[in-house]
Each structure stands twice: as structure tokens, then as C-alpha cells.
Amino acid sequence: MNDTAQIPTTAGGPTAAHGPVVELAGVTKTYPGGVHALQGVDLAIGRGELLAIAGPSGSGKSTLLHIIGTLDPATTGSVHIAGHDTATLTDRQLSALRAQHIGFVFQAFHLVPGMSAQDNVAEGLLYSGLPRAQRRSRAAQALERVGLADRASHRPHELSGGQKQRVAIARAVVGEPDLLLADEPTGALDTASGQAVMELMHQLNQEGATIAVITHDTDIADRLPRQVRIRDGRIAQDTTAGTHAAGREW
């Protein structure tokens, strides 16, 4: 609650309401032992975009996810998220930035086993300062948004893999973040469930959400409007599809 209020405002530059959601300039990441995971990455993600950050294992895409998600600092270069220079923020302020501006969806769902779908989604508002009743009300609305209003009382073990991922997506978007980062969101799903999840991503994007899908699956990447392809820690290609992916059949 108080942490969010401590995030500095951005005077004379991009704010949380204007400018790119993500701006990376000259970003590198070097790990102990001289492993260069990222090398001079420049990347901007505008509001309302739906894109893939794609590459094989070891390409640097997961490192890029961690830096965009403020889970790991860059070694050099600048990182601005929702108008905030992450290098100037304390750990508490970075936590607040994530809570307020970034939603995460992971391959493994990360749902709390003993909690209902509604309460799992409400966890996404835990640091919002809202009373519990209001958090649960918003969670119910988010579940309806992803087509699971009738599963609100179900616990994770009572849900299919695709339904679990929809709950995780509802949790990620319940606070209306500036950016949704989806890390291999279909990786643990069968083909039909994976297609349904990607259809939901398109739907949320059409409603205004900014979404970056991190994936090794070239088929998924090819169906998104923009593909940022990573190889050996560098952006090898940044392409806007000739045919808008939202119009394709899954």
C-alpha cells in the first residue's frame, strides 16, 4: 500500500499514462564467470501491443523477461517501465512497481492449492490496499472476463490445465496492469487448451491490454502481430507481421 505511493513520479518525461510501457536502451546482462546473457538490447513496447519475445533455450529471452519484469537488474544500459527508471528505485519501490504496473503469467500456474479460484485471483490485489470484500468482487469480475465465472469456488485440483491458466491470467490482469508478461503460457497445456489460452490473449489485447508472450514456440510467435526474436543475447529480428495475427484462426 505505502510502497506503491513511494514510487517517484516522472516529471518532464514519459509517465505511467503516456509513452512506451517498456523502453530498454543498450541493456546488457553479465553473470559471474563472464556469461553474457544479453548484449546491447534496445527494445520499446508501446501501449496496446501484442508481441512475442521468441528464441530457443539459452538465447537470452528468459533473462530479458526478468529484466523487463524488474526481477533482475541490468548490468549496463537503461530500463524504463511504465515511465519509471528502474535503476533509481529501491527494492521496495521495485516491488511496488511490479504490483501496480506488471502482471505475470507462468507456465506452472503458481496457484495456491487450498484456495478457490476466486481467492487465488484476489491474491493479485493483495498489495492494492483494497478491503478483502472488494478484492473478491474484482476477482469475480476478472474470472467472468476469462470465461470462468462458473468456476469461482473451485480449487486448483478441480480445474483442468487450461482452466488453471485462465485463473492465472485473471489474477495477472485483475489489477489492470500496464503490462502483462506471459512466460511460455501454453507450455504445460495440450494443443486445444493452448489454443484457447492464446485466443484469450488476443481478446484481452483487443480490450486494450499490452501483452508480451515469451516463447520458444515459433508457431505461437508467428501468429502474433509482432515478433522480437532473440539469439545469443541480441535481438536478431524485430518484425511486425504482414497479416495481423488477431485476424487468424487458431
Spatial separation of the C-alpha atoms in residues 201 and 180, rounded to whole Å: 10
Where in the chain does DSSP place strands (E)? 22-31, 35-45, 50-54, 76-81, 84-85, 102-106, 179-183, 211-215, 226-231, 234-240
- Enter the pTM of the model: 0.88
> Per the structure block, which three cell numbers stand in for 202?
488476443
> Per the structure block, which three cell numbers stand in for 151?
468456476
Helix, strand, coil percentages in the chain from 3-state DSSP, rounded to 5: 35, 25, 40
> Per the structure block, which three cell numbers stand in for 208?
486494450
- What pLDDT score was predicted for residue 178? 95
Domain map (residue ranges) of the chain: 47-70+89-247
Weakly modelled stretches of the chain, pLDDT under 50: 1-5, 10-16, 242-250
- What pLDDT score was predicted for residue 105? 96
Residue 229, strand partner residues: 54, 237
SS3 191: helix
Task: From 19, 26, 36, 41, select the one nearest 228 (Cα to Cα).
Answer: 41
Name the amino acid, one letter, at 101.
Answer: H
SS3 173: helix
Residue 45 in contact with residue 213, Cβ under 8 Å?
no
- What pLDDT score was predicted for residue 18? 66
The CATH class of 47-70+89-247 is alpha beta
Q: What is the pLDDT of residues 146-169, one digit of tens each?
A: 999 999 999 999 999 999 999 999
- What pLDDT score was predicted for residue 9? 54
